[in-house]
Amino acid sequence: MSSANSLPALRTQPKAIFFTDFDGTITLQDSNDWMTDNLGFGTELRKKGNADVLFGRRSFRDSFQDMLDSVKTPFDQCIAHLLKNIRLDPCFRDFFQWCRANNVPVVVLSGGMQPIIRALLAHLLGEKEVEEMQIVSNNVKARPAMSINEEGGWDIEYHDDSSFGHDKSLEIRPYAALADRPIMFYAGDGVSDLSAAKETDLLFAKAGRDLVTYCENEKVPFTVFNDFSDIQKIVTDVVEGRISVQEAATGRN
């Protein structure tokens, strides 16, 4: 069993921990969707795949595998495309600085691939900032007898054996199980967040995205956000004791 000593986000004895999705949450565009839409089988099939997962017809793992299998572009070229096309939520930098100043660890839980996330964050936020951040995600591997930087040469390496590929609840649960623990937040936008949605004290779901639909269908308490300034206001109010997490979970309103 995990003890408080072995959980990385407890090292500084924080009052709160901020878990967050990466793609489409910290960034404005989802990098895997972008690759699928522009380098792989296209938007229409990708959206059909997302809907199949959202309504329980297929696992995230299988649908995501199909998306990425359709991208044959060498991995280094994929990263170069993404660095040119993916932007950061304009308010994330301020939020991240607030978290650092207030001892709130930011833990990235992603269904994306580690080298892409690190390259994008280093580019958009800064090398030093990224080094400090805990990022738990899937990875990339070479296909047999190939290199990741040749045509059709890379494949996703999943974090675990779950139907999510990366079951985000695995990282969150040991914290949730502690008797005396920090307040736990989670921010996300889509189908890769379903495994985490029920695990924290307050869930932020991005306005207009699939996670909002899921939370309403499953009766999971949440609050919507448009950008990280919305999140920062509420996290500040909760951490400073002005409102409770229950009061903050206002759904779409």
Active site residues: 21, 23
Is residue 190 near Mg ion by the rule CB under 5 A?
yes
By Cβ distance, which residue is nearest to Mg ion?
24
Kindly indicate which of the ranges 52-60, 152-160, 171-179, 187-195 contains the residues binding Mg ion, using the contact rule CB under 5 A: 187-195
Is residue 165 near Mg ion by the rule CB under 5 A?
no
DSSP annotation string for 197-240? TTSSSEEEEETTSHHHHHHHHHT---EEESSHHHHHHHHHHHHT
Is residue 153 near Mg ion by the rule CB under 5 A?
no
Query: CB-wise, 149 or 169, nearer to Mg ion?
Result: 169
Strands 202-206 and 106-113: unpaired
Query: Do residues 197 and 218 make contact, with C-beta atoms less than 8 angstroms apart?
Result: yes
One of 89, 167, 189, 199 touching Mg ion (CB under 5 A) = 189
Query: CB-wise, 62 or 237, nearer to Mg ion?
Result: 62
| Integer CA distances (angstroms), 193 to 118, 125, 154, 245, in order | 19, 23, 24, 19
- Residues between 13 and 42 with contacts to Mg ion, criterion CB under 5 A: 21, 23-24
Query: CB-wise, 58 or 206, nearer to Mg ion?
Result: 206
Helices (H), 70-209: 75-85, 92-101, 114-124, 127-132, 169-176
* Interface residue list for Mg ion (CB under 5 A): 21, 23-24, 189-190
